[in-house]
Amino acid sequence: DTEVTQTPKHLVMGMTNKKSLKCEQHMGHRAMYWYKQKAKKPPELMFVYSYEKLSINESVPSRFSPECPNSSLLNLHLHALQPEDSALYLCASSHPGLNYGYTFGSGTRLTVV
């Protein structure tokens, strides 16, 4: 298995809703990442988990809450989002310290109404 699987592919949520994005990989990668990408912009790093521990939080608002239950799963819990949070959310994984780059998931297209 050489893929990163993200669900759902599309999500529409109201500003008072609570939802979660899920990411799963079975490549044995021990680093996992959340990126946010707005239209026509490069991906922006949100969070990094290394060996299931949060190692980087790029000053992301608390309405985004990451969780790494085990080495294969990464969640992003969403609560009280704003319309400007609408974006493509990308999950990626890699071997920490090895030169193979990231494997990206297909992304979740999030729309906040």
Partner 1 sequence: ELKVEQNPLFLSMQEGKNYTIYCNYSTTSDRLYWYRQDPGKSLESLFVLLSNGAVKQEGRLMASLDTKARLSTLHITAAVHDLSATYFCAAQNTGNQFYFGTGTSLTVIP
Q: Is 74 in the site for partner 1 (CB under 8 A)?
A: no
Residue 43 in contact with partner 1, rule: CB under 8 A: yes
CB nearer to partner 1: give 16 or 100: 100
Examine residue 86 and tell whether it contacts partner 1 (CB under 8 A): no
Three-state SS string across the chain, please?
A: CCCEEEECCEEEECCCCEEEEEEEECCCCCEEEEEEECCCCCCEEEEEEECCEEEEECCCCCCEEEEEEECCEEEEEEECCCHHHCEEEEEEEECCCCCCCCEECCCEEEEEC
Stretch that binds partner 1, among 13-21, 61-69, 71-79, 87-95 (CB under 8 A): 87-95
Min. distance of Cβ 54 from partner 1 in angstroms? 14
15 binds partner 1 (CB under 8 A): no
Binding of partner 1 at residue 104 (CB under 8 A)? Answer: yes
Does 90 engage in binding with partner 1 (CB under 8 A)?
Answer: yes
- Binding residues for partner 1, per CB under 8 A? 31, 40-43, 45, 48, 50, 56, 88, 90, 94, 96-97, 99-107, 109
